[in-house]
Amino acid sequence: MNKKNYLFIFLAGIFFINANVFGEEKKQSERNFEISKNLDIYNSLFRELDLFYVDSIKPKKLITESINDMLGTLDPYTDYIPEEETKDLKFMTTGEYGGVGALISQNKDNEICIAEPYEGKPADKAGLKAGDIIREIDGVKLKGKTVSDVSDLLKGQPATSVKITIERYNEKSPIVKTINREKIQINPVSYYGVVGDKIGYILLNQFTDKAGDGIKAAILDLKNNHHIESLVLDLRSNPGGLLDQAVAITNFFVPEGLEILSTKGKVKQWDVTYKTTQAPIVPDMPLAVLVNSNTASASEIVSGAMQDLDRGVVIGTRSYGKGLVQATREISYNGHLKVTTAKYYTPSGRCIQAIDYAHRNEDGSIARIPDSLTHAFKTKNGRTVKDGGGITPDIEVKNEQKMNISYYLYSKNMIFDFATQYAAKNKKIASPEEFKLTDKDYDDFKAFLKSRNFSYTLKSAESLHKLKEMADYEGYGDLSKDEFSALEKKLTANTDRDLDLFKSDIEDMLNAEIIKRYYYQQGSIRYTLKSDPELKKALEILGDKEKYKSILNPKK
């Protein structure tokens, strides 16, 4: 090849590179123009509204709603957090706030009441009880206030005091309490203990910045002081949280230097691979991880890594399927944007994100990724796992509980209110493992419901009524009259019948709520674990070493 040819190829290459660069610059310039143009349109439109709209508009409210509507077209995790809500952001990441330490709720009469005082916190030490109705806070009457309003009044700087006036069942006069606020730290580990023959159990409710420390302390206590030989890690209904805590917790079980997950985003700085950095605490201890449909995000990172690395048996129902990573960015006037920046991938290379928010249906709706579009991946030992649908358990335990009368009793506060009355009449009860309502107690509950004129309409009956209306509208009502009548009789709620038919489910709910009044949240957990089907299966698997090994390594 002569010099002229070399020169021609060199100049052609320079031209091609310059053309590409020019093309990219042109695209970016056009994009910048579109952004600037539409922001200018928005500003002009808002100025015109403010000047000429027939009524006065509230600028902050209108703009905030427009921001939220815009972000709502993306995914449910990308949020605008204005300055006044940044304390909620801190609570989500740390589980920490200044206040009295009590969960509050709204009863059937729209009154704000104490739902649960946290054990050992200011509200508990001051003697507040579940069921107490809050009437005033620092002289402010609460009629018409929302749960959020009252929560803001109760919160404040630690070491400040708050005066609370409450109304209590069976007390004639209002009770006034002055409570000193404290820094409230919600323990991410709700409970841990021994649940079987040398089998430990840890319930993690959220991945806050103290989650790793809490899990580590629980493991060491169970290992050193209770001499456990296997462990159950319960991640059911854990919505997730901080990614680094998920990596740290996984590291307690797997060797140093292993990849736990990788993240990939549009911006290269979000392409990160996370590996374990320390020696594990329990590298060989048999492990079962419990998951359900509300196990999400960081919980799926841990359960997915344990499955992909064949480190533990995953038990329960398919997890939520949130394979997206968020970062918090500071914006003007001390606000924040929590924005989805990347997808994450488990050690096998799968992304468990179950919903494709980028591609919606024509009507704007979204749906789970169908199984036909998922892809197969291999675990460390060669087991097949799939992407696009959350974490599918190694052992599936179906939830047999159905929505019956117990749902309506709970949603209408009948369970809660009866527990309030029961606790007022009984100073103490047996331990969570031993307590059980008597037949007389259950009869008292039935009488309580009659005194409250409790009634309910089945969801199926509501749907049937709508169907009947549609049939009448379309002219088929008379044609289907007999069939509708027969169904209406079968779907008419019968309180007396259902209270006997679903007695076991109802008693379980009553027992758990009553136990909580005496032994707090941990007591309620201890009670429910006695008949927990997923835990029962975990104990079975961990109790059979050969079966445990065959699940993780079926080839051997």
- In sign, the C-alpha dihedral spanning 428, 430, 433, 434 is negative
* Percent of the chain predicted with pLDDT > 90: 72
Q: Return the higher-pLDDT residue of 16 and 515.
A: 515
- Predicted confidence band at 470 (pLDDT cuts at 50, 70, 90)? confident
Residue 482 has pLDDT above 70, yes or no: yes
Summarize the confidence of residues 123-134 as an average pLDDT.
Answer: 96
Residue 1 has pLDDT above 90, yes or no: no
Does residue 47 contact residue 296 with C-beta atoms inside 8 Å? no
Using the CB atoms, write b or e for 181-217: b if 16+ within 10 Å: bbebebbbbbbbbebbeebbbbbbbbbbebbbebbbe
Residue 476 has pLDDT above 70, yes or no: yes
Summarize the confidence of residues 355-368 as an average pLDDT.
Answer: 74
pLDDT, residue 43, reads: 92
Residue-wise pLDDT tens digits, 268-308: 888 999 999 999 999 999 999 999 999 999 999 999 999 99
Summarize the confidence of residues 488-493 as an average pLDDT.
Answer: 78
Catalytic residues: 297, 308, 322
Helix, strand or coil for residue 5?
Answer: helix
pLDDT, residue 345, reads: 96
Asked whether the whole model's pTM tops 0.75, one would answer yes
Residue-wise pLDDT tens digits, 142-166: 999 999 999 999 999 999 999 999 9
Please indicate whether the domains covering 96-185 and 189-328+340-398 agree at the CATH topology level: no
Residue-wise pLDDT tens digits, 52-101: 999 999 999 999 999 999 998 899 999 998 888 877 777 777 878 899 99
Summarize the confidence of residues 351-357 as an average pLDDT.
Answer: 90
Residue in 321, 338, 278 with CA at minimum distance from that of residue 93: 338
Helix, strand or coil for residue 223?
Answer: helix
Summarize the confidence of residues 109-128 as an average pLDDT.
Answer: 95
Does residue 270 contact residue 297 with C-beta atoms inside 8 Å? no
pLDDT, residue 541, reads: 97
Q: How many residues are listed for the chain in this entry?
A: 556
Q: Chain-wide mean pLDDT for the chain?
A: 91
Specify the CATH architecture of the domain 189-328+340-398. Answer: Alpha-Beta Complex (3.90)
In the sheet with 189-196, reading across from the earlier edge strand, the strands are 189-196, 199-204, 230-234, 287-291, 313-316, 395-396
Span of 333-342, 449-458, 476-485, 517-526 with lowest mean pLDDT: 476-485
Summarize the confidence of residues 97-114 as an average pLDDT.
Answer: 93
Q: Where are the domains of the chain?
A: 96-185, 189-328+340-398, 405-456+493-538
Does residue 344 contact residue 323 with C-beta atoms inside 8 Å? yes
Residue-wise pLDDT tens digits, 420-441: 999 999 999 999 999 999 999 9
- In sign, the C-alpha dihedral spanning 125, 129, 130, 136 is negative
Dihedral angle of Cα 317, 323, 327, 332, to the nearest 10 degrees: -90
- Alpha carbons 538 and 238: distance in angstroms, whole number: 18
Summarize the confidence of residues 498-507 as an average pLDDT.
Answer: 93
Does residue 192 contact residue 204 with C-beta atoms inside 8 Å? no
Residue in 507, 499, 509, 513 with CA at minimum distance from that of residue 420: 513
Please work out, in degrees rounded to the nearest 5, the angle formed at the alpha carbon of residue 298 by the alpha carbons of 296 and 299: 55
pLDDT, residue 16, reads: 55
- Predicted confidence band at 22 (pLDDT cuts at 50, 70, 90)? low
Amino acid at 144: G
Distance in angstroms between the alpha carbons of the first and the last residue of the chain = 61
Q: Return the higher-pLDDT residue of 203 and 478.
A: 203
pLDDT, residue 126, reads: 96
Residue-wise pLDDT tens digits, 363-404: 666 777 888 888 999 999 999 999 998 999 999 998 766 678
Helix, strand or coil for residue 445?
Answer: helix
- Predicted confidence band at 9 (pLDDT cuts at 50, 70, 90)? low
- How many other CB atoms are found less than 10 A from the CB of residue 39? 10
pLDDT, residue 150, reads: 95
Q: Tell me the DSSP string of 144-207.
A: T--HHHHHHHH---TT-EEEEEEE-TT-SS-EEEEEE-EEEE--SEEEEEEEETTEEEEEE--B
Alpha carbon 98 to chain centroid distance?
A: 23
CATH of 96-185, one of 1.20.1260.10, 2.40.40.20, 2.30.42.10, 3.40.630.10: 2.30.42.10
- Predicted confidence band at 7 (pLDDT cuts at 50, 70, 90)? low
- Predicted confidence band at 509 (pLDDT cuts at 50, 70, 90)? very high
- Alpha carbons 280 and 223: distance in angstroms, whole number: 13
Residue-wise pLDDT tens digits, 235-248: 999 999 999 999 99
Tokens of 113: 């009441």
The residues, any chain, with a CB within 8 Å of residue 406's CB and separated by 6 or more, are 502, 505, 506, 509
Tokens of 326: 């968020």
Residue 499 has pLDDT above 90, yes or no: yes
Residue entry with tokens 């009590």: 102
pLDDT, residue 306, reads: 98
The residues, any chain, with a CB within 8 Å of residue 245's CB and separated by 6 or more, are 207, 208, 209, 211, 212, 298
Integer CA distances (angstroms), 258 to 2, 252, 263, 280, in order: 53, 12, 15, 11
Summarize the confidence of residues 168-175 as an average pLDDT.
Answer: 94
Does residue 143 contact residue 164 with C-beta atoms inside 8 Å? no
User: H-helix or E-strand containing 99?
Assistant: strand 96-99
